[in-house]
Amino acid sequence: MKEQDIIDGLKPICKCKGIRKSVFLKHMKAGLRTVEALQKATGAGTGSCKGKHCTERIKELIRNHPG
C-alpha cells in the first residue's frame, strides 16, 4: 500500500462519529454499495448532524470507487 493511500484512508468521512475513509472502503470491498448499507454498517449518520455532512461524502465515495 502506498503512503498516500494510507494518509487518504485516515481522512474522516463522518466527523461526528470519527469514522475514517478506510472503514467505508473496507465495507465497500465487502460488497456494501449503498449509502444506507454503509451508514448501517458503520454508524455514520447517527451523530449530532444526523448525516447532513457525511451523506454527501459517502455518495462521493461510492461514485469514485465503482465496485
Query: pLDDT tens, 9-47?
Result: 899 999 999 999 999 999 999 999 999 999 999 999 999
- Residue 39 is predicted with a pLDDT of 98
Count how many domains the chain has: 1
| Domain range for 49 | 3-64
Better-predicted residue by pLDDT, 30 or 5: 30
Q: Which residue has the cell 465497500?
A: 28
Separation between Cα atoms, residue 50 and residue 31, nearest integer Å: 24
| Cβ-proximal residues to 30 (8 Å cutoff; 6+ apart), any chain | none
pLDDT band (50, 70, 90) for residue 63: very high
| Cβ-proximal residues to 65 (8 Å cutoff; 6+ apart), any chain | 25, 28
Nearest 10 degrees: CA dihedral of 39, 4, 2, 14? -10
* CATH number, position 43: 1.10.10
- Record the pTM: 0.90
- Residue 5 is predicted with a pLDDT of 85
